[in-house]
Amino acid sequence: MLGEPFASSPFVVGKSRPAETALPIPIEESLCPVVSHAWVNAEYKHLVVEASPKALAVHPGQFFNLLCPSPDVGELFFRRPQSVYRIDRKRGRIEFLYKCVGRGTRGLATLQKGDDLNMVGPLGQGFSLDPAWRHIVVLGRGVGIATLGPISQLTRENNVGVTAILSARNADFVMADTLFREAGDVVSVLDSDGTSAVENVESILDRLVAQKRADAFFTCGSNRLFALMKRIGKAHNIPGQVAMEQVMACGLGPCYVCVRTFEVNGVKELRRVCIDGPVFDMQEAVGW
């Protein structure tokens, strides 16, 4: 009927009524007003938006495919995937923490308070906690820390202890420490003082295993740290989950741009990071 929204028109936060786009699918395109958008250090920005009810159902480890404004006169063809960093269901907000690396994220960085962010999601498979786990270990570096951030919420909601080992170039790039401090313990390891060396991280992990504070491992953001956790996890039979970073196009399954190789019981398998992941079993994932 004339004037009716298309089934495919985006959900406009603050304007659309849930019934208008209540298709029986959990994913939608939505226009989300920017609440705040600030630099946290020289490379990363923290973006807070008002989110739709469907977007607020996002689970830690899932992501949204964001339509970034162009930073110049050229067009930006593809959306850019960004994990959810924090979910504030009480205030109806979703937060992202992202690194400005190229045209997409430079364009994203131009959004001002009150602008609309066009996002598609929530997408992919997120992190999960086994009810038997009492204390878990999170190990992240760089943009991986943004992806691991909401595990702090998951552990608090499930009354599970967490030690977060946050690896960074220097103290300026240690992020999500406030979130994890509210949930458990934080150990920062830095390039600037040498504590981020694999041998040192290994001894921290060994100590946590010996103290029985490592029922499960979670990692994202560094191939060498992933390889380390995978090795220690295998040696001690500790289950683990890794969030994979992979260049994506559609983010929805059909284009196969994001395929990676996995190894399941010695057999190689191809999986799409966007819909089969981005979170995978650590022992089945293969480094990049």
Helix (H, G, I), strand (E, B) or coil at 178: helix
> Closest approach of Cβ 115 to ligand FES, in Å?
26
Which CB atom, from 174 or from 249, has the smaller least distance to ligand FES? 249
Cα–Cα distance between 272 and 274 in angstroms, integer? 6
Which residues within the stretch 210-269 sit at the binding site for ligand FES (CB under 6 A)?
A: 248-251, 253-258
Question: Residue 65 binds which entry of ligand FES, ligand FAD, none, with Cβ cut-offs from 5 to 8 Å by kind?
Answer: none
Which CB atom, from 81 or from 221, has the smaller least distance to ligand FES? 81
Q: Give the per-residue contact string, 227-266, with ligand FAD (x = CB under 6 A; - = no).
A: ------------------xxxx------------------
| Measured torsion, CA atoms of residues 55, 60, 63, 69, in degrees rounded to the nearest 10 | 70
Write the CA distances from 126 to 5, 8, 134, 281, integer angstroms.
31, 25, 19, 11
Which CB atom, from 204 or from 227, has the smaller least distance to ligand FAD? 227
Which CB atom, from 10 or from 104, has the smaller least distance to ligand FAD? 104
How many residues contact ligand FES, by CB under 6 A? 12
Give 232-256 as a DSSP string. Answer: HHHHHT--EEEEPP---SSSSSSS-
Helix (H, G, I), strand (E, B) or coil at 62: coil
156 binds ligand FAD (CB under 6 A): no
**Exposure letters 51-89 (e unless 16+ CB within 10 A, then b):** bbebbbebbbbbbbbbbbbebeeeebebbbbbbbbbbee
Strand stretches in the chain, DSSP E: 11-12, 28-39, 44-50, 63-67, 80-83, 86-88, 93-99, 116-123, 135-141, 161-168, 185-190, 216-220, 240-243, 259-264, 267-272, 279-281
Write the CA distances from 86 to 4, 6, 120, 201, 214, integer angstroms.
34, 31, 17, 26, 24
Which CB atom, from 108 or from 214, has the smaller least distance to ligand FAD? 108
> Closest approach of Cβ 121 to ligand FES, in Å?
13
59 binds ligand FAD (CB under 6 A): no
147 binds ligand FAD (CB under 6 A): yes
Which residues within the stretch 61-120 sit at the binding site for ligand FAD (CB under 6 A)?
A: 63, 80-83, 97-99, 101-105
> Closest approach of Cβ 155 to ligand FES, in Å?
29
Question: Residue 250 binds which entry of ligand FES, ligand FAD, none, with Cβ cut-offs from 5 to 8 Å by kind?
Answer: ligand FES
Cα–Cα distance between 39 and 79 in angstroms, integer? 22
- By CB under 6 A, name the binding residues for ligand FAD: 63, 80-83, 97-99, 101-105, 143, 146-147, 245-248, 278
- By CB under 6 A, name the binding residues for ligand FES: 248-251, 253-258, 272, 274
